[in-house]
Amino acid sequence: MSIDSAAPAVTEADVREVAARSRVAAVELALVTRAAKDAALMTMADALDAATTDLLTANARDVEAARAAGTAEPLLDRLALDAERVAAMAQGLRDVAGLPDPVGEVLRGYTQPNGLEIKQVRVPFGVIAMVYEARPNVTVDAAGLAVKSGNAALLRGSGSAYESNRALVAVLSEAASKAGLPADVIQLVPGTDRSSVNYLLKARGLVDVIIPRGGAGLIKFVVENSSVPVIETGVGNVHVFVDASADLAMAERIVVNSKISRPSVCNSAESLLVHQEIADEFLPRITSALQVQGVVLHGDRQFAEVNGDVVAATDEDWATEYLSLDISARVVAGVDEAIEHIRRWSSGHTDAIVTSDLQAARRFVARVDSAAVIVNASTRFTDGGEFGFGAEIGISTQKLHARGPMGLPELTSTKWVVFGDGQTR
């Protein structure tokens, strides 16, 4: 868990005081109209654009400190901002502003024989706390989605991104306030050491839900130590299975894109499975295509026979989310063995099949128990933006309430509203 730093710890009272202010803001925000929320999001986006230079200066301090501490390159990539990434964050807020507001949506409505009118409607959670690592864009995504769905955002990023997150929250909260939203609707949890996280996890009654986003260690820590309800996001041990009937040119494009498009993110492919019937033709082709991109293959015997640069795979490789230019690879007898391998080793995030066989595709979709199952496309599409959400709060691998990319509807609960005219029971 990379959330610690050498900064002084804060007290439990400090964290609870910030959470209490968020709770007041959440009550007020629940009454704000969609038009006012959308206008605030647009103002926040413009403020990010205007503050790009200051934001990059703050981020540079974080990156410099992380590099000096020996942080691995994939994690530095997650941490780093540039003008293009700041512009993308701002555009994400504008995209969210253009999405339908889930608050007030009627999920079910009917009239009972006794005349009672009963409706189930979407309502905000109230206070959403995010605990996350490195990526400063999560700060903006979480703030924007929280505001749009009527929730106050309480944000706890990692110590490695503290300067970036402090600068981002300052810009966003000031812009939201100027646009007329309640004070404290977007706040940074004080402190950068683990004690402040512990205090946040115990703030039941002030915080309505906590969403961890990061590595397996962080997620495990939050789930096991929180008394506040948790929506569990998961790591991405992601697989691509190339079936015997696959178009090999298509398969090569999909595998390479799934691996090298952005290796440090959770929807990047970490394991490649290839049908035995096409192994002789496809293995040299895909091995070369990946190695020319700098990918290290950790392969079984058949992959190892392709060339001497393939590293022998172990069970640890099958279980690993590399988040780097590494991929495990093996040959399987068919779709059932691929499914068996995935069900054993997958983290339940995203798994894909490349095939021209409709029956194989249907079998794979039905039996692979992951949050996203993809047929003939890159695993990199498991993303809230690519799914049309505008932005995402995270990708849930649990099965309660929300699963897969989490957009606006997943940041709401429901309440039952009953209208009568004097009925008694």
pLDDT in tens, 57-94: 999 999 999 999 999 887 898 899 999 999 999 998 99
Is 32 part of a structural domain of the chain? yes
Average pLDDT, the chain: 94
What token pair was written down for 107? 């999920």
pLDDT digits (tens, 9 = 90+) for 265-298: 899 999 999 999 999 999 999 999 999 999 999 9
Q: What is the predicted pLDDT for the residue at 8? A: 55
> Strands, E, within 164-321: which ranges?
186-188, 209-213, 238-242, 269-275, 296-299, 311-312
Q: What is the predicted pLDDT for the residue at 6? A: 43
Give dist(CA 375, CA 278) in Å, integer. Answer: 18
Give dist(CA 170, CA 22) in Å, integer. Answer: 15
Are residues 408 and 348 both part of a single domain? no
Q: Helices 137-148 & 83-97, crossing angle to 10 degrees?
A: 10
What number is the average pLDDT over the span 193-199?
Answer: 92
Q: Is 334 helix (H, G, I), strand (E, B) or coil?
A: coil
Beta strands at 152-156 and 296-299: parallel, antiparallel or unpaired: unpaired
Cα 353 from chain centre: 22
Q: What is the predicted pLDDT for the residue at 409? A: 93
Is 4 part of a structural domain of the chain? no
What token pair was written down for 55? 């934001």
| Residues 390, 395, 397: CA angle, nearest 5 degrees | 150
| Cβ 412 vs Cβ 122: under 8 Å | yes
Is pLDDT of 42 > 50?
yes
Q: What is the predicted pLDDT for the residue at 211? A: 95
Q: What share of the chain has pLDDT > 70, as a percent?
A: 97
Is 29 part of a structural domain of the chain? yes
Give dist(CA 23, CA 21) in Å, integer. Answer: 5
151: exposed, middle or buried (C-beta count within 10 Å: 0-12, 13-18, 19+)?
A: buried
Is 390 part of a structural domain of the chain? no
Is 1 part of a structural domain of the chain? no
Lowest model confidence (mean pLDDT) among 169-178, 189-198, 252-261: 189-198
What number is the average pLDDT over the span 21-30?
Answer: 96
Give dist(CA 387, CA 61) in Å, integer. Answer: 34
Is pLDDT of 389 > 90?
no
Q: What is the predicted pLDDT for the residue at 4? A: 45
What number is the average pLDDT over the span 361-383?
Answer: 97
Which residues on neighbouring strands pair with residue 239, listed in sequence order?
271, 351
Q: What is the predicted pLDDT for the residue at 1? A: 42
Are residues 203 and 59 both part of a single domain? yes
Q: Which amino acid is residue 111, in one-letter code? A: T
Per-residue confidence band for 2, with pLDDT thresholds at 50, 70 and 90: very low
What token pair was written down for 168? 């981002």
Per-residue confidence band for 3, with pLDDT thresholds at 50, 70 and 90: very low
What is the phi-psi region of residue 104: left when phi exceeds 0, alpha when psi lies from -120 to 50, beta otherwise?
left
Give dist(CA 43, CA 301) in Å, integer. Answer: 57
Is 425 part of a structural domain of the chain? no
Are residues 34 and 141 both part of a single domain? yes
| Cβ 143 vs Cβ 153: under 8 Å | yes
What token pair was written down for 247? 């178009």
Are residues 73 and 102 both part of a single domain? yes
Q: Containing domain of residue 107, as a range?
A: 12-232+398-419
Q: Is the dihedral of CA 7, 8, 12, 16 positive or negative?
A: negative
pLDDT digits (tens, 9 = 90+) for 96-143: 999 999 999 999 999 999 999 999 999 999 999 999 987 899 999 999
List CB contacts of 215: < 8 A, sequence separation 6 or more.
Answer: 1, 2, 133, 235
Rg (the chain; Cα; Å): 23
Q: Is 402 helix (H, G, I), strand (E, B) or coil?
A: coil
Are residues 45 and 183 both part of a single domain? yes
Are residues 192 and 254 both part of a single domain? no
Is pLDDT of 421 > 70?
yes
Lowest model confidence (mean pLDDT) among 1-5, 33-37, 320-324, 350-354: 1-5
CA nearest to 353, candidates 340, 341, 364, 337: 364
The CATH number that applies at residue 287 is: 3.40.309.10
Q: Is 204 helix (H, G, I), strand (E, B) or coil?
A: strand
Greater confidence (399 vs 249) lies with 249
Cα 248 from chain centre: 31
Is 228 part of a structural domain of the chain? yes
What number is the average pLDDT over the span 191-198?
Answer: 91
Q: What is the predicted pLDDT for the residue at 425? A: 94
Q: Is 233 helix (H, G, I), strand (E, B) or coil?
A: strand
What number is the average pLDDT over the span 313-325?
Answer: 95
Are residues 251 and 202 both part of a single domain? no
Q: Look-up: residue for tokens 């505008």?
A: 390
Are residues 197 and 270 both part of a single domain? no
Give dist(CA 112, CA 363) in Å, integer. Answer: 42
Q: Look-up: residue for tokens 């700041």?
A: 86
For the chain, the domain total comes to 2
| Cβ 211 vs Cβ 394: under 8 Å | yes
